[in-house]
Amino acid sequence: MTTTKEELYAVLLELQRTYQAKLAQIEKNKALDISGTGYTNHQADDATMVYDQTVSVSTSRAAKTRLRQIEEALARFEEGTYGTCERCGKEIDIARLEAIPYTAFCLRCAEARDYRAGR
């Protein structure tokens, strides 16, 4: 059975909800961490807390980036350009969209981009 673009739209909406919930949870944890700071003089606890905050900042950044990609993909649905590579304008392979529904690039362009970014 091949996944249709309509099904991918539903997948994207679900992903959007998941990441919005994830970000809300991260924000909540952050608020708890901040309110908890200063309530302990135990150094190990403080170190753990700083570490947790560092982790939540990078997790939050990654989740925000992913949510933006998902929202951009949803916007492309509205424009009717979803599934078309933003770089070369060719159709993105449906198997690739199934794996990464929020991608804006075909495999070829994504690889070319990653290659450049890695230099």
Binding residues vs Zn ion (CB under 5 A): 85, 87-88, 106, 109
Query: At its nearest, how many Å lie between Zn ion and the CB of residue 115?
Result: 13
Return the number of the residue (74 or 107) whose C-beta is nearest Zn ion.
107
Return the number of the residue (97 or 106) whose C-beta is nearest Zn ion.
106
Return the number of the residue (5 or 17) whose C-beta is nearest Zn ion.
5
Q: What is the C-alpha separation between 41 and 79, in angstroms, rounded?
A: 55
Q: What is the C-alpha separation between 110 and 119, in angstroms, rounded?
A: 14
Alpha-helical regions (H) of 1-119: 5-36, 43-79, 94-99, 107-117
Query: At its nearest, how many Å lie between Zn ion and the CB of residue 84?
Result: 9
- Decide: helix, strand or coil at residue 84: strand
Return the number of the residue (17 or 87) whose C-beta is nearest Zn ion.
87
Which of 6, 19, 20, 24 is CA-nearest to residue 83?
6
Query: At its nearest, how many Å lie between Zn ion and the CB of residue 3?
Result: 20
Q: What is the C-alpha separation between 52 and 80, in angstroms, rounded?
A: 41
Query: At its nearest, how many Å lie between Zn ion and the CB of residue 109?
Result: 3
